[in-house]
Structure 1
C-alpha cells in the first residue's frame, strides 16, 4: 500500500502500469541537451532527446509520465504540490512561490516549516485550490505523483510548465535528480545526493554496538500498525546506514503493508521499533494498544528500544532534507544505547 493516504493510493495503483516504465528517469534524461548544469550531470546518458531555445530561455523536458513539457531555463516562481517537491526545491536552494500543506496536516510539515515562512499555501497535499495557484503566478508547477487528469488539465491552463515529478515506483533520489534537471540544477542535485550518501555511511559507522541492528519501521493507523517495505523511503535510509530489517520485514517494495491485527503484531518487532502516526486517530489507536499485553511482550518494547518519530517525515516518499532528519533520528536513538 502506498505511504500516502488510502484514497490517493487507489488512484495511483490504477496508473502504475502506465507510468512505471518511464518514471522520473524520463524527466532526468530528456532536456539534458540545454546549456547549464544539466549538461555535465547527464553527459554519460547517451544522446539527449530534449531541446533548448537559447534565445527564448526555454528548455524541453519529459516529466515522469513521459509528457514533453517546455519550461523556462531558469524558473523563478515554482509552486510545489507535495512536500517531496517542496523538500527537493528547498534542498536546491530555491524558494517556492506557493506550497501545499503536509501529508495529513493542515499546515506545512514541521521539519520544513521554518524554511517556508511567508510562502502562500495553495491547498492541501495534491489538492490545489486553483484560485490560489493562479494568485501565486507560477512559471513552473511541480505536481508530485498527481494522477488526476482533470486537475492536471486545470493546472496546465494556468501554466503549461506543469510536471508530474514522480511515478509510483520512483525512489526519492531518482525523483530529486529529475527535479534538479527540471530547474537546471542537476549538478547541484547530484552533489546533494553524494553528500547524503557520505553522511549516511558516516552516521552508520558511529552507531557502535547498535551497528547492523534490525530496525522495524512502522506507521500506526487507526485500524492498526503497518510496517514499511525495504524500498520505502525511511527503510532505504536505514539500509544506507548499514542497518538491517527484521526477518518478517525483509521484503522488497516501496509501500507498506495493510494494517495488522493484534494477533499479528509480532511482525512489527525488531531490535528497534520506530513508530510514527499521521492522524490524531492514529495517535489514539497507538496509545490504546500500548497498554495491551501483546504490545508489551514485543522484544523492542521490553528492551526500551521504541522511538516515536514524525510520520510526516518517516511515512512519506522522502527527499534529501527528510533523509537528513531520519539519519539524525536513528543516530540519536541508537547511539544513546
Structure 2
C-alpha cells in the first residue's frame, strides 16, 4: 500500500514538473518571438524615415525622388506608395510590409493574391501619425525605440507652446491648388497641427459636424470670423497657387478688412516643411507654428 502511495506521489510530481517545464518553454518561445529581429519592406517615405529611427531591418524601400536615410540606399525598390509592385514585395519575403493607409483601397484586391503581413501606416493627421509610430513599433518588435520617437515629438510640442498665454489664437488655414481655395479643418494634417499647438481653427465654427479634411468657404464667412492669423498653403503647382493667393488678396479690398491682413499675420507655409500628410519633418513644422503664433 505504501509503495502504491509513493508511486502515485512520484507520478503526480513528474506530471507537475513536466507541466511547469512545458509552461516555461512556452513562455521562453514567446519571449524569443517578441525579441526576434523582423525583416521589413516599406512602400512609404514617411514610414521609412520612422523605421530608420527604430533601427529596423529593411529589405526594400519605396521608389521616390525624396531623400531616404543613407543606410537604406541601394536596397531593392518596390514601387511608389500608391501602387507598389507586390510581386517584388513578396519575393523579398518580409515579416512585415508597410504601406501608406491612404492607398489601402488601391491594393486590397491585389493583396488577396499574396500572403503578406501588411501594416497600414496612417499619416492623415499628426495624431494618427503618432499612433502609427507606436503600433509600428509593436508590429516590428521595436516598441522601446518607437516610444522614444514619440517622446521626442511630445517634447517638441511642449517647447512650441511654452510661450502660449491663456488666449487661443484663431486661425484660418487656406489650402490652395491653382485657383481653387478651401479651408483645412481639424481633421486635416495641417488643421490637426494647428490644434496641437493650441490654435483655434475657424473652420470648426463654420461647420461643427465637419468630417472632411477640407471644406468650401466664402469670403463673407472669413470676414465674419475675422481670424487672428491666416495660414496659406500652396499645393500642386506651388508658384501658380502662390500667385493666385496674392492676386485674390491684392485685388479684393474686402481682405484688407481682416485683422490678420492689417496686422501682417498672413503667413505662407513653407512647402519644404509642411505637407498634406505627416512625416518626421513634423518636428520643424510644430516648431514653426509655435513661432508664428507665440514668437521665437
1:191 aligns with 2:151: no
Between 325-334 and 177-186, the greater mean CA deviation after superposition? 325-334
Change (3 A) 1:244 1:229: same
**Which structure's residues are more often helix, by fraction?**
2
Change (3 A) 1:267 1:193: farther
Q: Provide the residue aligned with 1:65 in structure 2.
A: none
Which runs of structure 2 are paired with 1:303-314 in the superposition (5 Å)? 303-311=263-271, 314=274
The answer on whether the counterparts of 2:169 and 2:199 sit within 8 Å (CA) in structure 1 is: yes
Q: TM-score, normalised by structure 2?
A: 0.68
User: 1:289 & 1:53 partners in 2: Cα distance?
Assistant: 66
Q: Provide the residue aligned with 1:298 in structure 2.
A: 258
Q: TM-score, normalised by structure 1?
A: 0.61
Alpha-carbon deviations, 1:67-90, whole Å to 9, x = none?
xxxxx9433342133x44334324
Among 278, 282, 289, the residue aligned to 1:323:
282
User: 1:87 & 1:154 partners in 2: Cα distance?
Assistant: 26
Higher Rg of the two aligned structures: 2
1:205 aligns with 2:159: no
Instruction: Please state how far the C-alpha of 1:154 moved relative to its aligned partner.
Output: 3.8
The answer on whether the counterparts of 1:79 and 1:142 sit within 8 Å (CA) in structure 2 is: yes
Q: Provide the residue aligned with 2:131 in structure 1.
A: 174
Q: Secondary structure at the match of 1:238?
A: helix
Instruction: Please state how far the C-alpha of 1:258 moved relative to its aligned partner.
Output: 3.0
Among 61, 68, 80, the residue aligned to 2:43:
80
Change (3 A) 1:261 1:250: closer
User: 1:310 & 1:54 partners in 2: Cα distance?
Assistant: 50
Q: Provide the residue aligned with 1:143 in structure 2.
A: 99
The answer on whether the counterparts of 1:100 and 1:126 sit within 8 Å (CA) in structure 2 is: no
Q: Provide the residue aligned with 2:10 in structure 1.
A: none
Instruction: Please state how far the C-alpha of 1:202 moved relative to its aligned partner.
Output: 2.5
The answer on whether the counterparts of 2:81 and 2:100 sit within 8 Å (CA) in structure 1 is: no
Q: Secondary structure at the match of 1:164?
A: strand
Instruction: Please state how far the C-alpha of 1:159 moved relative to its aligned partner.
Output: 5.9
Q: Provide the residue aligned with 1:278 in structure 2.
A: 235
User: 2:27 & 2:196 partners in 1: Cα distance?
Assistant: 36
Over the residues paired in the alignment, what is the CA RMSD in angstroms?
Answer: 4.1
Listed as ranges, the gaps of 5+ residues in structure 2 are: 1-25
Listed as ranges, the gaps of 5+ residues in structure 1 are: 1-50, 60-71, 102-106
User: 1:87 & 1:305 partners in 2: Cα distance?
Assistant: 33
Q: Provide the residue aligned with 1:333 in structure 2.
A: 292
Q: What is the aligned length?
A: 262
Q: Provide the residue aligned with 1:115 in structure 2.
A: 69
